[in-house]
Amino acid sequence: MTKKQRALAAVEALKAEYPDALCSLDSRNPFELLVATILSAQCTDARVNLITPDLFAAYPSIEAMAKADIGDVEDLIHSCGFYHSKAQYITETAKILLKEYGGVLPPSIEELTKLPGVGRKTANIIMGDVYGQPAVVADTHLIRITNLLGLVDTKDPYKVEMELKALLPPLRLARSSRLHRPPTQMQALCDERFLPIRSLRLRILIVFFFIQPVYLLFHGLCGKLCGKC
């Protein structure tokens, strides 16, 4: 089975296991999703979801966020960590969106990553969830699982994103909603330990696509070396 076939099979397994997958960050509009994703850096989605209701109640629009008092924003997001930088990111981003984009999130990764605090991970979430475009969110969970499945052989987020985009057709990346929504699926597969796989379906997938090929390769090499296996 080729890498492309394995990648498609993995997506189908995720679709079967998580048929109603949604981003785990709570939001009511694209700007709130952008803010929530910026806040999620080095912070759990669950913690962000505890913070954002009060934040968005105090600043319910881009215009309100652009005029927000930095100190007040810092108090509201304090528990998510790096609150000084994040408060500056989200308020400055609101100002830039109003001044340069008419209050609308730009529909390209290149433009999105020009915004304060927005990297490719955040930009891909916006492209996938807001604009329905081909997107791969190469976060820790996706990198771990795709390496384990033998789809990629790198821990570099950019390389993982590019290699997965090359493996899957753009239409599948845009419509499957499985690779640009890692908070729901990939976090369910990973925790701080190496591989806590909860789903039997995905454990079987890993056995057939990773463990079994490695075993067969080792078995064959052993046979050639010692002639006894």
Could you tell me which of 166, 89, 176 has the C-alpha nearest to residue 132? Answer: 176
Q: Which of 45, 86, 121, 129 is catalytic?
A: 121
Q: Are 84 and 104 in contact (CB under 8 A)?
A: no
Q: Which of 45, 86, 129, 139 is catalytic?
A: 139
139 is known as an active-site residue: yes
Q: Provide Rg for the chain, Cα atoms.
A: 20
Contacts of 94 (CB under 8 A, 6+ apart): 31, 62, 63, 65, 66, 68
Torsional sign, CA 121, 127, 129, 130:
positive
Could you tell me which of 202, 192, 187, 191 has the C-alpha nearest to residue 149? Answer: 202
- Distance between CA atoms of residues 222 and 193, nearest Å: 30
- Distance between CA atoms of residues 178 and 69, nearest Å: 37
Q: Where in the sequence numbering do the catalytic residues fall?
A: 121, 139
